[in-house]
Each structure stands twice: as structure tokens, then as C-alpha cells.
Amino acid sequence: MDEEPGVVRNNNQGGGRDIDVWTAIANDTGVRVTYVYVKNPSALLAALDEGKVDVAGWTSTTSEKYLRTTTILPTAEALVVPKTDVRPYRNLDDIRNLRFATLKDTAYANYLKNSGIVSIREFNNLPDVLSAVTSGEADAAMFSGIIAGYMEKQDKLSGLQVVRSYQPALSRPVVAAFPKGASESYEKVEAALKKLHANGTMETIKAKYGL
């Protein structure tokens, strides 16, 4: 997705965690990689289903309709609140009465709905999620812990903070997803990912982005 740290733009040059991962995969497999950027997880899988891309390069889908690789990185949700809110939120019981902003059609939105959270506003992109909290329209945001941690480290949360006391409930793997008919490409990428984990490349990429 077109969000930091996955994609980091400097002077119109693309880089970032996802770019580094797929550059390493391309170098190992010899596959030529072209990037199509999307703004949210549902758009990513829709592009794959419609044949606009050959692989969803960074997804937490569990759908059996895809060929899913080994884990690229683990992820979990983050709870983000204004810096003025110093309450030690820990679990669902502590956050049940908060007004939430989150990304549309994501595991975070589904979790909040299924947990009985009454006030949930869903947005198509992360800047709108954060704006809802900073403006007071929402009390808290829930989205990727990888993204939230990176943004906080880069001082890009603008008056917001990641709640360190919160215990995530949605720990899950991030994978690459291929259509069922793309077994040859899937097998190449799967082998490359296993090699990159074994030789320390993935740990180097994680350290580079503070993950």
C-alpha cells in the first residue's frame, strides 16, 4: 500500500520497507518487479482479483482463494490516541466506550464491529483516520502497529501517540498473495522469502525501519 514505511518517497524517488523486500526478492529470483500503488487493503485485493496486478505484495488476508506465501513480517493492531490522553488502556474492556476511526474493509474495522464497539468511523486512507482523532471527531484510531510505530518514530503522528500499555488482539502474519493459477510465480517468491529470512536480509530490513 502507498503508506509509510511500506513506501517512502524522497524527492519523487520510491523506497521503503515493501520496496526493499521486493527488490531483494527480484534480485534473488530474477523476476522484474513493477509497482502499482493502492491506498487501502481492499483496493489491493480488488486489483489482484481483477487481474490488474499479478501479486498482492503485502497483505494479511487469510482467504483460501489465494496462494499465500510464508510470513514476510508479523503485524498486529495499534491503539492511537491524543497525547493528552494518558489512560492506561490494556484490552477491549478499556476501549469499549471510545469513538473509533479506522480504515475501511480491514481486519481492524471488523474487529471493532465484532467486539461491540458502537461508534466507528471508517475511512479510505490513513491521513483521514488520523485527522478524525486530532479533530476530536474520534477518541482513538486503530490500524497497523507496523505503520503506527514507524510514524511515531519519525515524529509523524502530530499530537497523537501509540498506547504502549495496550495488548493487541489481532497478531497475524503479513504475506504475499497470488491467484491460484500462478503457482510458478508463487513458488519462486516463496523460495526467495525463505532464503531472505535464513540469510538475515529480512532482519536487516526490519532494523532499517525500526520494526
Q: With beta carbons less than 8 A apart as the criterion, state whether 145 and 106 touch.
A: no
DSSP state of 139: S
Q: Alpha-carbon distance 4 to 42, whole Å?
A: 18
Q: With beta carbons less than 8 A apart as the criterion, state whether 157 and 151 touch.
A: yes
C-alpha cell at 13: 524517488
Q: Alpha-carbon distance 105 to 163, whole Å?
A: 23
CA 73 to chain centroid? 10
Local structure of 143: helix, strand or coil:
strand
Local structure of 153: helix, strand or coil:
helix
pLDDT at 26: 95
Best CA proximity match to 58, nearest among 123, 43, 50: 43
Q: What is the pLDDT along the chain (211 residues), one digit of tens a residue?
A: 556 677 776 666 668 888 999 999 999 999 889 888 887 777 889 999 999 999 999 888 888 999 999 999 888 999 999 999 999 999 999 999 999 999 998 889 999 999 999 999 999 999 999 999 999 999 999 998 888 988 888 898 989 999 999 999 998 888 999 999 999 999 999 999 999 999 999 999 888 876 6
User: For cell 500462478, what's the residue?
Assistant: 182
CA 94 to chain centroid? 24
Q: With beta carbons less than 8 A apart as the criterion, state whether 24 and 32 touch.
A: no
pLDDT at 82: 98
CB-CB neighbours of 39 under 10 Å: 15
Q: Which domains does the chain show, CATH number per domain?
A: 8-73+174-208 (3.40.190.10), 77-162 (3.40.190.10)
HEC string of 44-89 equals: HHHHHHCCCCCCEEEECCCCCCEEECCCCEEECEEEEEECCCCCCC
pLDDT at 75: 85
